Amino acid sequence: MDNETKIWGAITVVALCALLVLLGQEYGGLFDSESSNTDEMIVLSSTADDPDPLSNECVTHEMNLGRHDHSVLSIFINGNERQIPENMGINTEVCNEQGGNMHTVHTHDATGKLHIETEANVDMPLGVFFDIWGVHFNETGIFDYRVSNTHELIMTVDGVTNTEFDDYLLVDGKEIVIIFQARS
C-alpha cells in the first residue's frame, strides 16, 4: 500500500468513529460517554427484563372488576409522536384465553387510551404498561433512548411535570405525556 492510501484509510476510520459517536449522542447515549474507547458499546438494560408482577395478571370483561379506569398516554421522541399500539396487552402469550383475556393495562385502539382493569381495586403503576409492551421506561429513558448529557426525559400529568416516571400510579381521566428530547 502506498502512503496516500494509508492516509485516506486512516481518515476514513477516524471519520466513521466520529460519526458513530455523534449518532450515539443524538439517540441518547448508545456509547459509553465516560469511556475513552468509542468502539465499546454499552448494553442497555431494560425495565422490561424484570417486569412488575401486575403485568402478568389477566382479566376478562366477564369478571366483576374492582377497577375500570382510563388514562391517555402520549409519547414524543425527538419531536415525533410515537404511536401507542392498538390491542397492546390483548391476546398475548400470557393472556390469551380464546382472544378474550387482557392484561390489567391494555389498549383497544391506537389513540393512547389506556384501559386499567383489575379484579381488585389496586394501585397500578404506569411502568406495568411498559412491562406488558416489553419496552424500557423509567427515569433513565424510554425504549432504546437514554438520558445523557445531551438528552432529557420529561413526563407531565395534565400538563404538570411529574418525576415519578414508571412509579406514577395511574389515575382515571389523567393525560400523561412523555417527551424524550435534546436538552435546551
pLDDT of residue 32: 38
Residues 159 and 99 in one domain: yes
The residue segments making up the domain with residue 39 are: 1-43
Residues 38 and 83 in one domain: no
Mean pLDDT for all residues in the chain: 86
Q: Give the count of beta carbons closer than 10 Å to the beta carbon of residue 154.
A: 13
Residues 30 and 92 in one domain: no
Residues 129 and 176 in one domain: yes
Phi, psi (5° rounding) for residue 150? -110, -15
Tell me the C-alpha distance between 149 and 177, whole Å. 22
Residue 12 parent element (H or E): helix 3-26
Residues 99-106: what's their mean pLDDT? 84
Residues 24 and 68 in one domain: no
pLDDT of residue 35: 37
Smallest CA-to-CA distance from 21 within 43, 6, 36, 9 is with: 36
Residues 22-42: what's their mean pLDDT? 49
Tell me the C-alpha distance between 28 and 148, whole Å. 6
Residues 70 and 108 in one domain: yes
Residues 99 and 34 in one domain: no
Tell me the C-alpha distance between 57 and 65, whole Å. 13
**CATH number, domain containing residue 111:** 2.170.130.30
Kindly state the percentage of the chain with pLDDT values over 90: 62
Reading the block at residue 85, the C-alpha cell is 399500539
Label residue 24 by pLDDT band (50, 70, 90).
low
pTM of the entire structure?
0.76
Number of domains in the chain: 2
Residues 100 and 58 in one domain: yes
pLDDT of residue 42: 60
Residues 36 and 111 in one domain: no
pLDDT of residue 61: 75
Residues 27 and 92 in one domain: no
pLDDT of residue 27: 53
Residues 16 and 83 in one domain: no
Residues 61 and 37 in one domain: no
